[in-house]
Structure 1
Amino acid sequence: MGQWSRIDDFHPEQVLFDAGEAWPKSKTDQLLNDTDVVPAPEETPTPTPKTTDLGQRAGYVRVSSADQNLARQREAIGAVDREFVDELSARARAQRPGLEECIAYLRNHDELIVASIDRLARSLVDLRTIIDQITAKGASVRFIKEGLVFSATDQDPRATLMLGILGSFAEFERSIIRERQAEGIALAKKAGKFTGRKKALSPAQIKQARDRIDAGESKTAVAQDLGVGRATLYRYLMTDNKR
């Protein structure tokens, strides 16, 4: 059985590389010292947040009568930064303070959300005018029900065409409704069942208004107190004079 040979210790400086160069002790010491040093991890630069010029989401809701509920429109529109409301039927833009305030409020990059086209305008001409006013300010209009978006930077000809078609159908539908109402009133009158719309002012109120005006009060103040417009008050006063 073979035996192990004697093992002799030798210094690293006696080790020769292929080129015949000995390993100096200074390199051994440096290697031992370097293993005790843990290199610091490289710092990852913190990303700078990008600033975006995003506008606000505004919502416009309108009901045709005071007893209607706004909840359905608000649910369709969703969360907004600012809401504008008109709660009474109005044929003229001057009688819609919520809409006027909304248009004045909108700024560049803002978006106006409306549940449907018929909540924003009552005619195609009015609708086109409102949209042009909003887009001219750099804002956009989104109609939830119709799925249409109008903005100054993104003019989709299909959306413009659809706007005209929908607006025309809306006007046509209203004209049909008015025509049917007129036919119904005519038939009711012929049958002696039509009593007409309830008068805005009673004879006692007309007399009260005339007395106040004769006493020096302005017609505007009197009309406001009676809850009617100036034109309505004038009409009743003129009709009363002819009797």
Structure 2
Amino acid sequence: MKIGYIRTSTGDQVGAGQREALKAAGCERIFHDKGVSGGAVSKPQLERALKAASEGDALVVTRLDRLARSMKFLIEDVERIGGLGIDFVSLHEAIDSTAPGGRLFFYISAAYAEFERDVIRQRTKEGMAAAKRAGRPVGRPPAITDARWPGIRQMLDGGMTITAAARTAGVPRQAIYRRLEADAEVGG
């Protein structure tokens, strides 16, 4: 039996394309981890898929990165899957672990995928460093601007709780905590 596994990293992704590809590949059951990062340690639906599989069944994914984000975890997952007597198939990379050539291709593809992510990561760091040197802001803008902080601080000084002030100002509580910590560091 072929068992499909879908992983979408954000809650708003639906995985419809993955589901269609897995059905076309003959998957009888499909398990979907929604809003789970590729680097996540806990993938409950993957565990359910492995428990539903019997020796000789195949776990099918559309792409290697749907299983894991790093070569280390990808290899660990595939070895664990193989240790259970379950075959592994990745449709995009045309990997089928039932054959020696498929296993070799898996390791080569996993190494290339990790290299590609490392190159992207390095380019991102270089771009951020260039932006900093040019004086451009890098990263997410603060939830509480300097212009809004005095009003929020006034609410807190007036006895309002952080939760109430956050709700009133429409900002996360953690943003207020961070701003208070920053003020404490500047103040001494």
Instruction: Answer whether TM exceeds 0.5 for this pair.
Output: yes
Query: SS at the partner of 1:85?
Result: strand
Corresponding position of 1:17: none
Aligned counterpart for 1:167 among listed residues 83, 107, 110 = 110
Aligned counterpart for 1:118 among listed residues 59, 65, 69 = 65
Deviation at 1:89, TM superposition (A): 4.7
Deviation at 1:169, TM superposition (A): 0.8
200 and 121 in structure 1: CA distance in 2 versus 1, 3 angstrom threshold: farther
Instruction: Please tell me whether residue 76 in structure 1 is matched to residue 21 in structure 2.
Output: yes
Deviation at 1:59, TM superposition (A): 0.7
Amino acid at match of 1:114: V
- Correspondences of 1:55-204 after superposition (within 5 Å): 56-78=1-23, 79-150=26-97, 154=98, 156-198=99-141
**Distance in 1 (alpha carbons) for counterparts of 2:182 and 2:43:** 31
Unaligned runs of 5+ in 1: 1-55, 210-225
Deviations 1:128-169 (A, max 9, x none): 11112112222211111122112xxx4x33222211111111
Percent pairwise identity = 32
**Distance in 2 (alpha carbons) for counterparts of 1:144 and 1:201:** 46
| Matched pairs, number | 162
TM-score (norm. length: structure 1): 0.55
192 and 123 in structure 1: CA distance in 2 versus 1, 3 angstrom threshold: same
- Considering only CA atoms, is the larger Rg found in Structure 1 or Structure 2? 1
RMSD after superposition: 3.3
Query: SS at the partner of 1:94?
Result: coil
**Distance in 2 (alpha carbons) for counterparts of 1:238 and 1:159:** 55
133 and 200 in structure 1: CA distance in 2 versus 1, 3 angstrom threshold: farther
Corresponding position of 2:169: none
